Amino acid sequence: MSNRRFFIKSSLASVLLAGISPAVSALALAEQATLPGATGKIKLRFAIASDGHYGQPGTDYKKDHENIVRWLNEAHEQNPLNFVIINGDLVHDRPDLLMEVKNNYYDKLKVPFYALPGNHDHADTARWKAVFGYEDNFSFENNGVGFVLANTSNTVGKYLSPDNDFIRTALERFKALKTVFVVLHIPPHLWVPENPFVDAPQTVALLHSYANVKAVFHGHDHSLDAVFYTDKLPHFFDAHIGGSWGTTYRGYRIVEVDEEDKISTYQVNASKNPTLNATKL
């Protein structure tokens, strides 16, 4: 760990990136038009959520998905989002339900959404493209910010390193951009031994080799809603939408980029159950 910077912020806190403000209450920020770290006009605002596990036995997965769509639409009405990213495990070992969860829930979002597979989606490239219209490794640009979404599993749910050739090609294409975000369901570094991730040092080295890669976003571990670092590169988690375990609340993360490419992000306790950091004096 001597060459790794390890740091965890508590849940529902704004988090420092290069040029981001000191931590403040996420609940207080939820209704603000701008964040202290993004002092200029916001050019891009998006939400990222993960781990809905639609179809998991013993869970109220339909209610979970009704809730997340409503919460995200309400967030958009209060302060417009450009889009939403769903970071893996949309379904629970039932790839035949991918079209159902898309059509019945995510298509009801009032903004576009992008999705990438997790280890429980069990979808190959052809199925993913048939359902969502793009492959399981996918990149796009929005308002001058690049996004690289890479698959980290296969049709039997094995934990895999992402396709580094795909990531490198996408990062080369975005080389002129000031800000690029990478989205991987399963993290490429082992921070929490009790929850086995993929130790992929070549992927980490690749991400470090592009100075415009400002953050990486992960799902997979429902209990994490904080930030870890590999060297100076932050890796953010966003708790979970559904499933049978994880943080006691359901939530998602907001990310904002201003016209000077300053970045702010915070985790949202969307279900507000339990209320966090409450104090009576």
136-180 pLDDT, tens digit each: 999 999 999 999 999 999 999 999 999 999 999 999 999 999 999
Q: What is the pLDDT of residue 26?
A: 33
CA dihedral 189, 228, 235, 118 (to 10 degrees): 60
At position 213, the amino acid (one-letter code) is V
Residue 273 confidence (pLDDT): 80
Q: What angle do CA 8, 10, 13 make, to 5 degrees?
A: 115
Q: Average pLDDT, whole number, for the chain?
A: 87
Query: Of the candidates 85, 176, 185, which has an alpha carbon nearest to the alpha carbon of residue 132?
Result: 85
Q: For residue 157, is it left (φ>0), alpha (ψ between -120 and 50) or beta?
A: left
Q: Sign (positive/negative) of CA torsion 10, 12, 17, 22?
A: negative
> In the predicted model, what is the mean pLDDT of residues 78-86?
98
Structure tokens, 208 = 């470090």
Pairing mode, strands 83-87 and 42-49: parallel
pLDDT (tens digit, 9 = 90+) per residue, 184-231? 999 999 888 776 678 899 999 999 999 999 999 999 999 999 999 999
* CA separation for the pair 129, 202 (Å, rounded): 27
pLDDT at 197: 75
pLDDT at 115: 98
Which pLDDT score, from 0 to 100, does residue 217 have? 98
Mean pLDDT over residues 64-89, rounded?
98
Burial class, 229, CB count within 10 angstroms (exposed 0-12 / middle 13-18 / buried 19+): middle
Among 3.60.21.10, 3.40.1190.20, 3.40.640.10, 3.40.50.720, name the CATH number for the domain at 26-269.
Answer: 3.60.21.10
**pLDDT for res 276:** 64
